Structure 1
Amino acid sequence: MSGMEFADGKILAGIESGVGRVVFNQPEKRNAMSVNMWEGMGQALDLFAEDASVRCVVLQGAGDKAFVSGADISQFEKTRANADAQRDYDRLTSAGRAKLAAYRKPVIAQIRGFCMGGGLGIAMSTDIRIASEDSQFGIPAAKLGIAYGFDMVRALVDLVGPAHAHMILMTGERFDAREAERIGLVNKLVPVGELEATVAKLTATLAANAPLSLTTNKQTVKAVLQDPSDRDMGAIRTAMAACFDSEDYREGRRAFMEKRKPAFTGH
């Protein structure tokens, strides 16, 4: 995998076999997200977005202790000491958050260990979440005296419903991977030793599928979750038409008739 570094090496990125990979690389702090790590993640996502060879993206944490344990609390006194500072923090990190939330290509969270607070927010912004059995989840905002952001609360409610969202937010307690799977927070739970292979099999499937279909279906799912007044149905119809007019659709039909695997190009 070709290697790239961002945020002074705290964000690692690479591309292999059509898969872009972002690694949150601050294991000594359980991969807690600093302000510059948000910027670095956004830079990596931009590179993957522009590279036609990248069919999907995986996010993971360095080491075996955490995906992302949350925001880097050591920076709170400087960056989030009060409401004004919080607004500045939101401004500094909003670009990375927005890029992940609006990303066109499929994004998978490969979760092992702690996935807490802002780390859970990152995972909820991905399309598919695969977790190892030793993972732990939670949003400890109530134990810190702060409130979780609206976009992340909406994502939480969309995934688990209001009743489970209330329990998670009001208690601020950790819960294990089996509970996360039960309430719909993660798509699949696997033994620790099978996490890498499970994600690799999934990414191989996505990388082999038609890119226009993947991006259009992702766009449509997001629209379903929006308020009707916010949906750009014209854009969805245009994207759907592009799929039906694409060379990939013709290739898919030919491959089906010839009983072979299709070779999609994204055109």
Structure 2
Amino acid sequence: MTDKILTERDGVVARIVFNQPEKRNAVSLEMWEAVEAALDAFEADDGVRVLILSGAGGKAFVSGADISKFETERASKEAVAHYNATTKRVYGKVEAFPKPTIAQIDGFCIGGGVALSVCCDLRVCGTGSQFAIPAARLGLGYGFEGINRLAAVVGPSFTKEIFFTARRFDAEEARIMGLVNRVVPDAEVGAKAMEMAQTIAANAPLTVDSVKFITNQTQLDEGARDMGRCDALVAQCFDSQDYVEGRRAFMEKRQPDFVGA
């Protein structure tokens, strides 16, 4: 795995770090492939309950594609198709990751950074963070899936404003749009993301994961929804040891110890 993507594990909280701070964590094809491998590994790890995605250096989350790599990674029609297929697959895996995901946004979140952040379940940023999708300044086309994900988070009107103007939005504007869940002082972004992750991880995993799946199903057309799976996940919660533990902990006035089964 490239050293431009780092993985960490702190108890039940896992982390994927985009580690190219000298380029504001711009992402190359090799980095996207490493992210995909990390996602697969963490998904298969039953000990992981929450995943945080972040950028190294404190100046940027992700600032889009590494343009310096275009001559080697996107110089031909076939190479462009391969690059696009890879990024599409990774975005899809982040969105469909079965456990809660948090985007820890330090500083700049540009282009592909915004696209990646809205694949996550929750987003926390610093007061100095800035957001933009400059596609209209570059003449780039932007596909349905990326626009649909953004519109699901901020709504159609703000989606159009973000794309039409191609300007940078500050953290408060992002909060008003609903693009981020929380805005905290820049120095506290990492601590806040971890606090959120640990709070989620302390709750019943079967409940949390089922709510994620069902909420994502609400964004699909009615005919595409897997209602059987939704019902099965709810039934699994009520059949679990954790449901028994939750009731007992409530009656005994103590913190529950959930095991995810």
Map 1:61-210 to 2 at 5 A: 61-80=55-74, 85-210=79-204
The answer on whether the counterparts of 1:39 and 1:95 sit within 8 Å (CA) in structure 2 is no
Letter in 1 for 2:62: V
Of the three residues 212, 217, 221, the one matched with 1:218 is: 212
Match of 1:24 in 2: 18
Structure 1 distance, partners of 2:188, 2:59, is 16
Shift, 1:84, TM fit: 5.6
Larger deviation, residues 167-176 vs 127-136:
167-176
Match of 1:231 in 2: 225
Farther off after superposition, 70-79 or 109-118: 70-79
Q: Please, which moves more after superposition, 146-155 or 93-102?
A: 93-102
**Do 1:48 and 1:54's aligned partners in 2 also have CA atoms closer than 8 Å?**
yes
CA distance in 1, matches of 2:184, 2:199: 18
User: CA contact under 8 A between 2:63 and 2:110: conserved in structure 1?
Assistant: yes
Aligned residues: 261
Return the offset for 1:25.
0.3
1:162-207 CA distance string (max 9 Å, x none): 1111111112111111100011100010011221221222111111
Superposed CA offset, 1:112-137 (max 9, x none): 11101111111000000000011110
Name the counterpart of 2:7. 13
201-210 or 78-87, which moves further after superposition?
A: 78-87
5+ long unaligned stretches in structure 2 = none
CA distance in 2, matches of 1:36, 1:261: 43
> For residue 117 of structure 1, what is the amino acid of its counterpart?
G
Judged with a 3 Å threshold, the aligned counterparts in structure 2 of structure 1 residues 210 and 44 are, in CA distance, closer, same or farther, namely: same
Instruction: Give the conservation status (yes or no) of the 8 Å contact 2:24–2:60.
Output: yes
TM-score (norm. length: structure 2): 0.96
Q: Which amino acid aligns with 2:185?
A: P
RMSD: 1.4
Amino acid at match of 1:246: S
Unaligned ranges ≥5, structure 1: 1-5
TM (norm. structure 1) is 0.94
SS where residue 67 of structure 1 aligns? coil
Whole-angstrom CA distance in 1 between matches of 2:140 and 2:121: 27
Task: State the AA in 1 paired with 2:40.
Answer: D
